[in-house]
Structure 1
Amino acid sequence: MNNTNSSVKDNNINENKKKKYDTNKNVKEKNEKIDIKKALIKNVKVPDNYEIKHLIGKGSYGFVYLAYDHNAKKSVAIKKINRMFEDLVDCKRILREITILNRLKSPYIIGLHDLIIPEDLLTFDEIYIVLEIADSDLKKLFRTPIFLSEAHVKTILYNLLLGEKFIHESGIIHRDLKPANCLLNQDCSVKICDFGLARTINTDKDTHIVNDLEEKEENEKPGPHNKNLCKQLTSHVVTRWYRAPELILLQENYTHAIDIWSTGCIFAELLNMIENHQNDATERFPLFPGSSCFPLSPDRNSKKVHEKSNRDQLNIIFNVMGTPTEEDLQSIDKEEVIKYIKLFPPRKGISLKDKYHCISDDGIDLLESMLKFNAKKRITIDEALEHKYLYDIRKKDLENFDTKKIILPFDDWMTLTETQLRYIFLKEIQSFHSDLIIPSEFLIHENNFYNNS
């Protein structure tokens, strides 16, 4: 009896010790997280007029902070890019985004507010980009349990199209339109962001986008400058679910139409936000949620790729939209690609009208027009803005932009050295801080690569 009581007592003591240990462990972990957040904020080196509030995002590039600019009397987002010269491919993408945003001024594009002067102009390895801030983005919206009215959907879509029109008229293809890159405010205004993969199409070379060579992303080893990079048509343009067929198939001379396809995919997700289309918010999915892109891999002729049940991106598109017609196949410039597509079992696809039954035939027509396999048949930005579905919310006066073709200060097809990249970064920073004097070490190289126009 005494042994039993002693055993129970010991068990209670051990259980209490375990609870106390678990509690202390949880408190310790919580405190560690708080300490890390404090350290991340403390490590931000910006001028005194910027008051860092808290961390709002992080990624492979670095961190994003909410801050208050006491000079401008408004909240801003500050993106801190770390170790920016470790990989010159990624570094050039950062530079491309900065140079494009510094030249694109529109209510429909995220505003570049400031570039912070680095502490050491010769050896800096991080940069602080100060950006306009928005309430949310479409990716976050799609994950919420709220529902939208059709008027909301139309307004958001229309504002997104206005932003695209401005971008395209400025001579730019965004190439990475997806919900996360469409910032959203409570008034349904949209601001397009993230131009790291964008391209200008203003020169003779630009019109032949077969020359759109980007350093290969897959199978790269991290390390200084990635010198052994293999060049090919970009394989990582646009998140897979929003990628146009011509990008999946590595077609040459693709156009603004790739952005239209991405917009159609986003439009479909907006329609999922209407309660009568999907009353369970947890069941909302992208229209083409593929899990791979086999045409970009060595397995391109594997039989498994062409089975209807396969989750390959192109297969998912064909399941929804149907396989392309013979006429559509003739728009493809590579015979091997045509042969590859013909290996897919023919199918008609689904009825988008049945899927999105609460919107008018005009709405379905607009959606289908954006998702044409044949890019030449895909609706244009102007045609989309003029479409009957948007008649009741259209404001023609908003569609007249005074745009200028964007010319980047560097050749986007040129491989830039670290020294050249540093110089262009400093030139962009100088556009915000005219008193900045660029070290003479950089100036001797200027005429070899820098475009002052």
Structure 2
Amino acid sequence: RPCTGGRARPAALAARMASHEGGGRRRQRKKTGTLEPAGVHVWSAWPLPQRYELRSLLGSGAYGTVCEALDKDKGRMVAVKRIPRIFDDLVAAKRVLREVAILSQLDDPHVPKVYDIVVPGDDPAHFSELFLVMEIGDTDLKALMQTDIEFTEAHVKWIFYGLLSGLRYLHTAGIYHRDLKPSNVLVNKDCAVKICDFGLARAVGDRSRPVTPAGSLTRRGSKGAVVGKDVGMPTSVSRAMTKHVATRFYRAPELILLQDDYTEAIDIWSVGCIYAEMTQLLEGARLEDRGPLFPGATCFPLSPDLVRPCDGLYHSQGRREQLNVIFDVLGTPSDDQVQQLDREDAQTYIRCFAPRKGMGLQRRLPQAGADAVDLLQRMLRFGPLDRCSAEDALGHPLLADIRDPSSEATAPEMVELDFDRKQNHSEQQLRDVFAAEIRSVLSGMSKVSTAGG
């Protein structure tokens, strides 16, 4: 179908996806220990209004379970996300609150819409579980990449263009997604893209300097030896931004190295990794060779080797250590780039790695064209200040034949979450904020939804 600006999308993906899971709809993700046994549909007893007819299980993870459902009142398929035992973990509860608050303030075709919020018993003051009714996608990039189909260059470019357009919108709204990966990119049969799962997202328009736990990286001793002892904690500040975000394969170097004041460049790195992976969908790449660009097995200090978790020098020599996997492709950073790191212990740790040029992205991704490699080189630079922005990426020659700037939305204002200005909330305080947020969202939808219909 034509896009907004009149430039034709490639032929719909329907034919290519027809053999994927019964026609393209996302199906249950297999995850040991999280999904009910075959034939036992626990989700069918969810306390939802009668308008929602649950059809199938789409997936399950740490923070909830997602089912496909028919909204009989609207005549459309939706995704219903059940989040149980919300207040068992107050940190997790605040993440759910952020997701609800952020999604309710975003309005872009590349972000799933929240259609409804269901509180069982219509009791916001005492609820323990929550149901989010959201826009659904046909499949996700991870599922597509695991399917034995090939895409044309036009298909890959359109999907990538949609992903970049959505990311640009998020960044103009002051949102860092912080967990971009193929499974969080929904793709429809017409190549439309939606960025999902905002459980780790943060609104950072008004953030102050984040706290980083010192001493997690190595430091240099009095005689130049690399050691792993604590170097003391920084002065307390008013707000924290956790560094343990983004899945390892898509985690930017500054997150790996626990840098303070990281920026939206962490999302650019993740999207670069995703696009590199997408090029493996092109003709000439074997199914068995598809996978992450940087498939590290450990990631010191956040995801270290269990045998020697505090030994930075040991990790710098590990061939499956995440930074080594990155350096094998991109090469080790220059002295000038290392000097950009704001932590002395991080600089010391980087200098532990054996210097190398790296094989280069073209050799690593032989099926990628010259323009694709050039843009990836701009997105996957070690220094966040050296990386291009989403706006820059959209203006790259790679996308010149399909880009339509008039279709790229800009957020009218930065998203700000007042409750995030307070670092520690009690359960009752979180309940109060949840109740206010739910009332605000439902009021904005001009409806009230209860478990009784």
Aligned equivalent of 1:321? 330
Whole-Å Cα distance in 2 between the matches of residues 212 and 190 of structure 1? Answer: 34
| TM value normalised by structure 2 | 0.80
Distance 1:126 1:322, change over 3 A: same
Q: Secondary structure at the match of 1:77?
A: strand
Aligned equivalent of 1:23? none
| Letter aligned with residue 248 of structure 1 | I
| Letter aligned with residue 291 of structure 1 | A
Aligned equivalent of 1:431? 440
Aligned equivalent of 1:137? 140
| Letter aligned with residue 321 of structure 2 | D
CA deviations on 1:357-396 (whole Å, 9 max, x unpaired) are 3443222110111100011111111110000111111112
Q: Secondary structure at the match of 1:410?
A: helix
Measured after TM superposition, the shift of residue 302 of structure 1 is 4.2
CA deviations on 1:269-292 (whole Å, 9 max, x unpaired) are 00111122x1x2122121100111
Q: Secondary structure at the match of 1:293?
A: coil
Q: Is 291-300 or 133-142 further displaced after alignment?
A: 291-300
| Letter aligned with residue 65 of structure 2 | F
Contact 2:119 2:129 survives alignment (8 Å): no
Whole-Å Cα distance in 1 between the matches of residues 441 and 260 of structure 2? Answer: 38
Whole-Å Cα distance in 1 between the matches of residues 208 and 241 of structure 2? Answer: 14
| Letter aligned with residue 40 of structure 2 | I
Aligned equivalent of 2:82? 80
Distance 1:299 1:358, change over 3 A: closer
Aligned equivalent of 2:223? none
Measured after TM superposition, the shift of residue 339 of structure 1 is 1.1
CA deviations on 1:250-299 (whole Å, 9 max, x unpaired) are 001110100000011001100111122x1x21221211001111233574
Whole-Å Cα distance in 1 between the matches of residues 102 and 265 of structure 2? Answer: 20
Name which structure has the greater RCO, CA cutoff 8 Å, separation 6+.
2
Measured after TM superposition, the shift of residue 334 of structure 1 is 1.2
Find the partner of 2:110 among 108, 111, 130. Answer: 108
Aligned equivalent of 1:228? none
2:382 aligned with 1:373: yes
| Letter aligned with residue 196 of structure 1 | G
Aligned equivalent of 1:310? 319
| Letter aligned with residue 72 of structure 2 | H
Find the partner of 1:282 among 275, 285, 288. Answer: 288
Whole-Å Cα distance in 2 between the matches of residues 408 and 425 of structure 1? Answer: 12
| Letter aligned with residue 85 of structure 2 | R
Q: Secondary structure at the match of 1:393?
A: coil
Contact 2:102 2:203 survives alignment (8 Å): no
| Letter aligned with residue 288 of structure 2 | T
Whole-Å Cα distance in 2 between the matches of residues 256 and 286 of structure 1? Answer: 21
Find the partner of 2:257 among 249, 252, 256. Answer: 249
Measured after TM superposition, the shift of residue 123 of structure 1 is 2.3
Contact 2:124 2:434 survives alignment (8 Å): no
| Letter aligned with residue 383 of structure 1 | D
- C-alpha RMSD over aligned residues: 2.3
Q: Secondary structure at the match of 2:86?
A: coil
Aligned equivalent of 1:418? 427
Find the partner of 1:272 among 270, 280, 285. Answer: 280
CA deviations on 1:161-217 (whole Å, 9 max, x unpaired) are 0000100000111111111111111111110111121122222xx153x2489xx9x
Q: Secondary structure at the match of 1:159?
A: helix
| TM value normalised by structure 1 | 0.80
Distance 1:402 1:85, change over 3 A: closer
| Letter aligned with residue 398 of structure 1 | S
Whole-Å Cα distance in 1 between the matches of residues 38 and 301 of structure 2? Answer: 45
Aligned equivalent of 1:239? 247
Contact 1:264 1:371 survives alignment (8 Å): yes
Whole-Å Cα distance in 1 between the matches of residues 371 and 310 of structure 2? Answer: 37
Structure 1 stretches lacking a partner, 5+ long: 1-31, 217-230, 438-453
Distance 1:232 1:311, change over 3 A: farther
Matched ranges for 1:338-349 at <5 A: 338-349=347-358
Q: Secondary structure at the match of 1:362?
A: helix
Whole-Å Cα distance in 1 between the matches of residues 240 and 404 of structure 2? Answer: 42
Contact 2:331 2:356 survives alignment (8 Å): yes
Whole-Å Cα distance in 1 between the matches of residues 64 and 204 of structure 2? Answer: 30
Contact 2:329 2:358 survives alignment (8 Å): yes
Whole-Å Cα distance in 2 between the matches of residues 402 and 235 of structure 1? Answer: 26
| Letter aligned with residue 322 of structure 1 | G
Measured after TM superposition, the shift of residue 40 of structure 1 is 2.8
Q: Secondary structure at the match of 1:55?
A: strand
Q: Computing the radius of gyration over CA atoms, which structure comes out larger, 1 or 2? A: 1
Whole-Å Cα distance in 2 between the matches of residues 362 and 408 of structure 1? Answer: 39
Aligned equivalent of 1:194? 197
Q: Secondary structure at the match of 1:197?
A: coil
Structure 2 stretches lacking a partner, 5+ long: 1-35, 217-238
Measured after TM superposition, the shift of residue 432 of structure 1 is 4.6
Measured after TM superposition, the shift of residue 310 of structure 1 is 2.1
Q: Which has the higher helix share?
A: 1
Distance 1:371 1:115, change over 3 A: same
Measured after TM superposition, the shift of residue 424 of structure 1 is 2.0
Whole-Å Cα distance in 2 between the matches of residues 71 and 152 of structure 1? Answer: 34
Q: How many residues align?
A: 383
Contact 2:280 2:367 survives alignment (8 Å): no
Identity over aligned pairs, percent: 44
| Letter aligned with residue 304 of structure 1 | Y
Whole-Å Cα distance in 2 between the matches of residues 425 and 191 of structure 1? Answer: 25
Q: Is 64-73 or 129-138 further displaced after alignment?
A: 64-73
| Letter aligned with residue 48 of structure 2 | V
Distance 1:370 1:177, change over 3 A: same
Whole-Å Cα distance in 2 between the matches of residues 235 and 384 of structure 1? Answer: 25
